Structure 1
């Protein structure tokens, strides 16, 4: 049974890596095409719209992806429980979508800039609402990542094909959200049918009390994701405020790619470990994963520190040699990303410490914002000190998570008979 669980874990990790890889590849294919057929002004409009929707998608999810996944993992095979959860998640998200839609509509009608692109924002919003309704938490909890991967890749392929077929100029810009909307609608219908036939799960509208409790249990996860977003996006905003139009912003943007790549590399491992650990509490496996990845982190960090200038020139071009020094300032953050992600939700939630996992991101926000405020007040703010502040924030988050585990491992070892040592 344990061997089957680990095989499923490896399979799920593979599919999540395939999902991440497909996203990057299709993005590389479509972005150059869009920049060539759309004017810079219209491409900027699309960029603002998609950035707005990315933020709204965070609100639409409301932390339910993280809070509902362990519920599913703990009740596999209980169709009645999962059907009630299924309906509850849909109802909560529908309520949030209604409120957000009303606010977005009011803003678009009130401001002239947004009013002229009302159709674009409306279509994008409905597309993102449908995406939020997709029951990814169910497939993560059931450890059926193949379903998510196949569905998402199919949607992205459809949207990519639609972009090349229908987008020829600024006049065709609505083709972008329409293709996404159609793909997400088809995926949602397919999910409802698949879940009913294969898992005997169909949405049941629960009581109002149930919905309140579901939303309440998701609120800490929502704040955690918002906190993580704030301290990971604060740097470009601050840099732009002090160095608008300066090449240093481009150098930072290039350097930050190393940090984002580190997150994309470890995210599939953490995401597949999360439901597995909720069910199995196999802390020794986490220890083996950390031991296995440690040499690669150390070797990679050594190479990056030594050859950062040359690597940046190789990847980004001759004008980016100066990014090497910025990368070195981000190196502590890059080094702790892998262990920090792995010991967060996959370990803390099975230990009954989900509140600590969520609070750890708030620690990162506090360290980041305090550091930025101190740098501004002392006149020491530049791209290097900002990156050092980011490293301090990421290291603080990691240390908080690690210390929390070490403090509670004895109590959990006696309760679960599976010590994390």
Structure 2
């Protein structure tokens, strides 16, 4: 909703809580709906077929990364700063979008050459060709504009609609192992189908027609984009190189095991990262207006909340990895259990670096530190993968990812120590881990005592028990953030009465 004031066109912003809720829905839809396909599809395509899809997705992620440069993050900051002025916003969007379009043409040319000359790609040529549409869709998706304007509701609705469509198509069309290319196309609908809708609706917020009154300057974007692009390269390397190296050094079956574990990890990362990703436009705006106290207050609370959520999620998933893998992917994927258990602590590290890096260092103009941390993470990941993958396959890749995420966390902790040391000191780790221990111990005892053997029943009962006991324990010890949430719920209920 646009408001007029003093010759400017102002965007009415929603509260952090509203944005957080919408972003949970958005990020949840990005993983939950496709996740619902997995129990069905994995039993049809089996580890080999799922491995091929995972390998194609990871390789094409690199081409998409070069086409996008660093725009998904830089675009949010650049547009958030000028979002109160529609003319400046429109000019900024046009400039950045032009850069993206030129790069996408270049990357499609490189992709076509690779498709016919790299054996690992050409042997699944049709699958790669179909899934390469993700490059084009990501470029025109302009989700960074909607995030800068804090229009999470719109992108959440579109995402859910397209993912629901993909889910229906999966059950209708995928029936045998030979349907792998068709499933590849459906995964693109699920992940990127809403981007075309985003582009069509963009005219509600910005003017896409070039105007002579605009003083275009592509050059001013190139330096910051190059920094964000370098960050994107480093991040993509250490988050996707494990899958790519598995594809070149092992086989599709090992990739299938790894993919099963990574899917679960990424679903939980989406939940943990939901709060952090809504903060970037808001904290960028606060800092541009000199509101440093608000910046410190929001980021401090965010770090505390992320830990309170990420730690129990990681511990629960490690304890109940077997029924989770068995239910979601099937008995053929049981070798993914230790892989998943190794990956689970990364949920904590990623949650914290999402706040310290993208939500603190970037708005502070210290994105170089994010780049340094990610370069270190990429180098560590490559080195460990080279050593461990040939011998331990998918398990070795999981160890490399865990150590890489720890290195990224340590560098960003050092870079933000001025702000975060006091926050970390105030967190009551003892209460948190006592709550997790009680929750894990009691849920395990009850499930074993009643000899529950059905995977879905184990998960339903263990989730309810674990998180109920965790929450009650934190309430009893009066954990401040939990008490704040409880107070908000009580106030909301009173208002409804």
Q: Which of the five TM-score ranges fits, normalised by the shorter chain?
A: 0.7 to 0.9
Q: Would you say 1:391 and 2:402 are equivalent positions?
A: yes
- Indicate the residue corresponding to 1:270 in structure 2: 276
> Which of 168, 187, 197 does residue 197 from structure 2 map onto?
187
Q: Where do residues 17-416 of structure 1 align in structure 2 (5 Å cutoff)?
A: 17-28=24-35, 51-108=58-115, 125=132, 128-158=135-165, 187=197, 190-196=200-206, 210-239=217-246, 244=251, 251-280=257-286, 281-304=294-317, 308=321, 312=325, 323-373=336-386, 386-407=397-418
1:81–1:234 distance in 2 versus 1, CA, 3 Å: same
Shift of 1:5: 9.6
- Indicate the residue corresponding to 2:477 in structure 1: none
Alignment: residue pair count: 401
1:278–1:313 distance in 2 versus 1, CA, 3 Å: same
Mapped to 1, the partners of 2:383 and 2:344 lie a distance apart of: 20
Q: Deviations over 1:295-346 (max 9, x none)?
A: 4444444445555556655665566666554444335433322212122111
Of residues 118-127 and 387-396 in structure 1, the stretch that sits farther from structure 2 once superposed is 118-127
Q: Deviations over 1:2-55 (max 9, x none)?
A: xx9995222222222212332334424656777899999999887766555433
1:366–1:154 distance in 2 versus 1, CA, 3 Å: same
Mapped to 1, the partners of 2:366 and 2:402 lie a distance apart of: 25
- Indicate the residue corresponding to 1:414 in structure 2: none
Mapped to 1, the partners of 2:126 and 2:213 lie a distance apart of: 34
Mapped to 2, the partners of 1:209 and 1:63 lie a distance apart of: 20
Instruction: Structure 1: state its 5+ residue gaps.
Output: 411-421
1:368–1:53 distance in 2 versus 1, CA, 3 Å: closer
1:176–1:255 distance in 2 versus 1, CA, 3 Å: closer
TM-score normalised by the chain length of structure 2: 0.65
Shift of 1:174: 10
Q: Deviations over 1:193-237 (max 9, x none)?
A: 3224xxx67555999982233133212212222222222233344
Mapped to 1, the partners of 2:248 and 2:126 lie a distance apart of: 31
Contact 2:77 2:281 in 1 (8 A): yes
Q: Deviations over 1:87-110 (max 9, x none)?
A: 111211111122122333444566
Instruction: Structure 2: state its 5+ residue gaps.
Output: 1-10, 287-293, 422-497
- Indicate the residue corresponding to 2:463 in structure 1: none
Shift of 1:140: 0.9
Q: Deviations over 1:379-404 (max 9, x none)?
A: 97565555333222111111111110
Shift of 1:362: 1.0
